Structure 1
Amino acid sequence: MDPAQESPENPFGMDTDCQNCTDLCDARTNVVHGYGDAGAEFLFVGGRPGPGADRTGIPFTGDEAGRRLQRILGELGFSNSSPDAERPELDNAYLTYLTRCRHPDRGPTDEEITTCDPYLTADLRMINPEIIVPVGTTALRGVAVEHTTRDPETLDAAESHATTIRGRGFELVPMRALDEQTDAETEAFIEHLAESVLGRDYRQTKGRSGAHD
């Protein structure tokens, strides 16, 4: 973690009592802002908090889907903690969401994604990662709107899982939704990121604002 960083939890001091989406204020337990290494080169972004993250307040923790991602982070050398840790010790990885509140009965609406976008935009500007890992189709399409030349509606995380998409200044490495992944798909993602991304000079893509996907 960046040695100048005081805490991995919500390091940019975003509003933890956000009232922007009326339908979510009473439904959520926590507003789940970003967590991890503020100097990270890898940013993992989901569509919305899972039930575990809603309880703990920490992205991708507290439930089986979160444990799967934490195992992936450990395998790739981004985490020094148990997959069960509710406040994992992360290095070179930052975890966040398109939308910061969970409704237990439905996914985020387009309006909620738009309303929450300034939080994600702030995360991206502050961290300026080299690689973005959208977790699930909602996250992939949400990130693609601003950061690729692709039509977001044509993108599907299951189809793009464990591949690389060239974007504007970033590379995207999509991941299938954690609760839909098989163990074989998890291993395929780890192998792709380890060999095709970590195994080369991915930094050459940074700042290439005119890059094609």
Structure 2
Amino acid sequence: MDANQESMSNPFGMDEACQNCDALCATRETVVHGYGDVGAEFLFLGPAPSEGADASGIPFTGERERELLDILTAVDMCEDPDADEPALPNAFLTYVTRCRHPDREATEEEVVNCEPYLNSEIRMINPEILVPVGQRPLEELAFEYTTERAEDLDVTERHATTIRGRGFEIIPMMAPVEQTDEERTAFLDHFSETLGRDYRQTKGRRGR
């Protein structure tokens, strides 16, 4: 599976007609795979597509999700948050599960069905920092990439901190729509301090 950076959307050519989950196939409009810079040092992981992302095919473009793009703009990782296809230098956006159900969260079986997509994206991109956006993404990364138990990690408590993982650092983020001004400032301060360690010069924006 090779990257195609000619496209920001689904650059690894993952199955856009996936039929692994019958219930989600019946409700989704789009299989929303990852989007962004394949040379990114920073991978942002949400739980599942919103209505807006399901329609556009681009992660975090729904009305309740798009505030993440404002945060990325504040740290120079998004050049135009209002664009239909925003440029994301040094950032890659993706989801735990790739299809939307309008009435419920994904089941454990559906999460397991999507794990190969996520693990492939992480392996191909090989980022330095994983940013789980919300509780479910934090639990998913904890199981696979840290020595901590998922049930011991609370995104509210770990928001704007760094967890040392197995080959990665993890910086949990509460869903932006749920953050207070103080919590957003805390994340931006911590994330900016992380950026100060010259991640921009090591790998971001390079071709593959």
TM-score, structure 2 length as denominator?
Answer: 0.91
Corresponding position: 1:49 with 2:49: yes
Report the CA distance between 1:202 and its aligned residue: 6.0
**Structure 2 letter corresponding to 1:119:** Y
State the identity as a percent.
Answer: 59
Q: Aligned partners of 2:199, 2:163: CA distance in 1, in Å?
A: 13
Corresponding position: 1:122 with 2:125: no
Q: Deviations over 1:150-176 (max 9, x none)?
A: 000111111111000000000000000
Q: Aligned partners of 1:36, 1:122: CA distance in 2, in Å?
A: 15
Q: Deviations over 1:94-146 (max 9, x none)?
A: 00011000101011111111110000011001000000000000000001101
Q: Deviations over 1:175-205 (max 9, x none)?
A: 002331223212211111001x1122569xx
CA RMSD, 1 decimal: 1.4
1:26 is matched with which residue?
26
2:78 is matched with which residue?
79
1:38 is matched with which residue?
38
Report the CA distance between 1:148 and its aligned residue: 0.2
Q: Aligned partners of 1:25, 1:96: CA distance in 2, in Å?
A: 19
2:195 is matched with which residue?
198
1:106 is matched with which residue?
104
Corresponding position: 1:156 with 2:154: yes
Structure 1 alignment gaps of length 5 or more:
204-213
8 A Cα contact 1:37 1:91, kept in partner: yes
Select 1:182's aligned residue among 180, 183, 201. Answer: 180
2:205 is matched with which residue?
none
Q: Aligned partners of 2:98, 2:61: CA distance in 1, in Å?
A: 14
Q: Aligned partners of 2:181, 2:20: CA distance in 1, in Å?
A: 38
Secondary structure of 1:193's aligned partner: helix
8 A Cα contact 1:157 1:177, kept in partner: no
Report the CA distance between 1:22 and its aligned residue: 0.5
TM-score, structure 1 length as denominator?
Answer: 0.89
**Structure 2 letter corresponding to 1:5:** Q
**Structure 1 letter corresponding to 2:142:** A
Report the CA distance between 1:63 and its aligned residue: 1.1
**Structure 1 letter corresponding to 2:45:** V
Secondary structure of 2:102's aligned partner: coil
**Structure 1 letter corresponding to 2:77:** F
**Structure 2 letter corresponding to 1:64:** R
8 A Cα contact 1:45 1:134, kept in partner: yes
**Structure 1 letter corresponding to 2:22:** T
Structure 2 alignment gaps of length 5 or more:
201-208
Secondary structure of 1:65's aligned partner: coil
Give the 4+ runs in structure 1 shifted more than 3 A: none
